Amino acid sequence: MSKTILVVEDNVMNLQLMVNLLEHNGYEVLEAGNGVEAVLLARQQHVDLILMDMQLPVMSGFEAVKMLRSDEMTAGIKIIAVTSFALAEERERILAAGVDEFIAKPIDTREFPKVIERILEKK
């Protein structure tokens, strides 16, 4: 059975790139354009992994991660921050928010599937 990944991204080009890469590698993909949609989908669907942009409209990735981690239904879902924040202090702040891993944009299309597979294997 394939793993289900929720991609939370408001930039259509970035969203499509991640969806294409994930589907090409055999994953089922759900999409959300903001943090509110992400929290709702994670509560309604069985999700193995969430790829979370941290800068989102309506509800930021930081707020969404906080809500997901505080809900026992979603607290155990692996979350990878996918963001253009590349500075070391920003990376630390993002990891401290409760995510399991960090992927910097622009996405390295060769490394991206390897990171996803590694995180899912840790589950």
Element (H, E) at 12: helix 12-24
**Residue 85: predicted pLDDT:** 66
Beta strand pairing call for 49-52 and 101-104: unpaired
pTM for this structure?
0.93
Question: Do strands 78-83 and 49-52 pair parallel, antiparallel, or not at all (unpaired)?
Answer: parallel
CATH code for position 99: 3.40.50.2300
d(CA 95, CA 79): 10
Residue numbers of the domain that contains 64: 4-122
Structural domains in the chain (count) = 1
pLDDT in tens, 6-20: 999 999 999 999 999
